[in-house]
Amino acid sequence: MTASLEQTLPEPDVEDGIKYWASQPASYDGVLGGFGNGTLPRVDALGSRQFLQHLLPELCTVPSAIRPLTAPSPSARRPRALDVGAGVGRVTSDVLLHLFADVLLVEPVAPFVAEALRRGRASEALPAGASIALDENPMAVPWKGVRARTTSVTFVQATLQEFDPARPKGRVLGRVGYEGNAEGADATAVALEDLDSGFDVVWCQWCLGALSDPDLVAFFKRSKAAFRDPARGLIVVKENLCSETGSPRAVFDESDSSLTRSDLAWKQSFAEAGLRIVHEQVQEGFPEGLYTVKMYALR
């Protein structure tokens, strides 16, 4: 970022941020700052899925106008995504498992990642034929494919400052769902073997404000190095934007020790990390009074 930003704004403190979020409820309402019980979660998930399918139409799993006419080969590898700063698994369950076969979920806040793991295990243990109406508690909706073991989620506790998508390390808490050729094997052992498989998409939503400017650029570089296919891999950033007056700007939030960056500030960080913008789009349909939220696809 610019020198003026670095000199005038405090840098996010990882421990302060974790302490704040650990004090919030481990629920959609908690991770969404009180907006988890309205329309925002559904509108957000729908916008995210449409954004991904516009860029990678082969991810579409149902007949539609965007689904390629030629189906993928049965031998094609399973699409794989990384969900960082994943909270209680909202994006994993409501977005990524609808499009990807395998997800690695990374979250530093212990109560949040424990709740995500509980939700995944509850889905895996559901009786045959069990279901829940979508207008009921979204936290209780079964995770797509987990019980049938057609999809998988691996859970890791780690901070973004330390996490390297190309060489994942952290506290592996477990895995649910698909086990590949290791049917009946220990889920954690399977997860450890699968950690360094690379990713088709790295999803970053409402978490990158916890990173200082240098840490943000470094994380982007590590994420790009984790692409399975450099020509097709994507980093998706979905974040709040503060206002600006023609130059990069950021606002520091003392409550959770985070930065809200402007559009130009985000674009400057992308350029410094050697990333180009493939597509960008404002998320529509959110309640009035919130920051503008924008999605960027990068590689």
Q: Are 297 and 55 in contact (CB under 8 A)?
A: yes
Q: What pLDDT is stored for residue 19 in this prediction? A: 98
16: left (phi over 0), alpha (psi -120 to 50) or beta: alpha
Q: What pLDDT is stored for residue 245 in this prediction? A: 87
CATH for 19-58+76-126+135-298, among 3.50.40.10, 3.40.50.150, 1.10.3720.10, 3.90.550.10? 3.40.50.150
Q: For tokens 């960056």, name the residue.
A: 261
- Dihedral sign from CA coordinates of 172, 158, 276, 281: positive
Higher pLDDT, 5 or 83: 83
Query: What beta strand segments (E) does the chain contain?
Result: 80-84, 102-106, 152-157, 171-177, 201-205, 234-241, 250-253, 258-261, 277-282, 292-298
Can you give the residue ranges of every domain in the chain?
19-58+76-126+135-298
Q: Residue range 202-211: average pLDDT?
A: 98
Strand order in the sheet with 171-177: 171-177, 152-157, 102-106, 80-84, 201-205, 234-241, 292-298, 277-282
List pLDDT tens digits, range 159-191. 999 999 999 888 999 999 998 765 555 665 655
Q: Residue range 276-280: average pLDDT?
A: 98
pLDDT band at 24 (very low <50, low <70, confident <90, very high): very high
Question: Of the ranges 69-83, 104-118, 248-262, which one carries the lowest mean pLDDT score?
Answer: 69-83
Q: What is the mean pLDDT of the chain?
A: 90
Higher pLDDT, 56 or 139: 56
Q: What pLDDT is stored for residue 180 in this prediction? A: 77
Binding residues for S-adenosyl-L-methionine: 85, 90, 160-161, 205
Binding residues: 85, 90, 160-161, 205
Helix residue ranges, H only, the chain: 3-8, 14-22, 28-31, 40-55, 90-94, 110-124, 187-194, 213-224, 263-272
